[in-house]
Chains A and B, each alone.
Chain A
Amino acid sequence: NAGVMQNPRHLVRRRGQEARLRCSPMKGHSHVYWYRQLPEEGLKFMVYLQKENIIDESGMPKERFSAEFPKEGPSILRIQQVVRGDSAAYFCASSPDAGGPAYEQYFGPGTRLTVT
């Protein structure tokens, strides 16, 4: 069973361009989380999605950021008109279900976004 896949692993964008980050959860997982890690900081929650639904987007910046998890295909985190402050590592995690003692989030390797 392949782990959580993220691509690209590294992404360079100029200010004002769009960045699209993709996350394929583990097989059988229907819950996806996105986290952002700024340099020298811990991970900060951004958004929690289930198939075709945004469950919690309380950590998403109000502008320029959006996320989706369609019925088919990977989850996408989209950043429009990127600025230097968006430079960070973006991690995706997936889980098979919410709650319970067996609960665990499995993390992907991350996408490192650099805005020049």
Chain B
Amino acid sequence: AQSVTQPDIHITVSEGASLELRCNYSYGATPYLFWYVQSPGQGLQLLLKYFSGDTLVQGIKGFEAEFKRSQSSFNLRKPSVHWSDAAEYFCAVTPGFGNEKLTFGTGTRLTIIP
């Protein structure tokens, strides 16, 4: 069965600093990979996704993620965070091929300090 690990439960970053959120997955083949963001009391918004091809994926709000097959990782990055980036971030995978149910990590809560 596929699984997703987000090893960092909570990260605090200064505004303007760079950010990297870690995500490792376990799956036999290359899954479809996603990063979602959830603001308090809200639903999930897709930041970016990876299916194949270029391993560096650009998303919305200045985020990017890099797929590394050898490390089974799909880390999310942003060069300079803004106070509005404070939220919960979820990495997710799906095997594709007709049943696209998402398996989520437990999330990383991002706090931004002035």
Residues facing B in A40-75 (CB within 8 A) are 41-45, 48, 55-56, 59
Q: Using A42-B104, A42-B105, A45-B103 as known contacts, say yes or no to A109 and B32 having CB atoms under 8 A apart.
A: no
> Is A12 positioned at the interface, with any CB of B under 8 Å from its CB?
no
* Interface 0/1 of B72-114, CB less than 8 Å to A: 0000000000000000001000001111111111110000000
Q: Using A33-B102, A45-B102, A101-B51 as known contacts, say yes or no to A107 and B43 having CB atoms under 8 A apart.
A: yes
Closest Cβ–Cβ distance, residue A2 to chain B (whole Å):
14
> Is B46 positioned at the interface, with any CB of A under 8 Å from its CB?
yes
Question: Could you say which residues of chain A place their CB within 8 Å of the CB of B105?
Answer: 42
> Is A108 positioned at the interface, with any CB of B under 8 Å from its CB?
yes
Q: Using A42-B107, A104-B49 as known contacts, say yes or no to A98 and B101 having CB atoms under 8 A apart.
A: no
Question: Could you say which residues of chain A place their CB within 8 Å of the CB of B107?
Answer: 41-42
Q: Are A99 and B45 in contact (CB under 8 A)?
A: no
Closest Cβ–Cβ distance, residue A41 to chain B (whole Å):
6
Q: How many residues from B make CB contacts under 8 Å with A?
A: 23
> Is A81 positioned at the interface, with any CB of B under 8 Å from its CB?
no
> Is B70 positioned at the interface, with any CB of A under 8 Å from its CB?
no
Give chain A's interface residues, CB within 8 Å of chain B: 4, 31, 33, 35, 41-45, 48, 55-56, 59, 91, 93, 95, 98-101, 103-110
27 contacts between A and B (CB under 8 A): A33-B100, A33-B102, A35-B104, A41-B106, A42-B105, A42-B106, A43-B90, A45-B103, A48-B99, A48-B100, A55-B99, A59-B101, A91-B44, A93-B44, A93-B102, A98-B100, A99-B96, A99-B100, A100-B51, A104-B49, A105-B46, A105-B100, A107-B43, A107-B44, A107-B45, A108-B43, A110-B42
Give chain B's interface residues, CB within 8 Å of chain A: 32, 36, 42-46, 49, 51-52, 90, 96-107
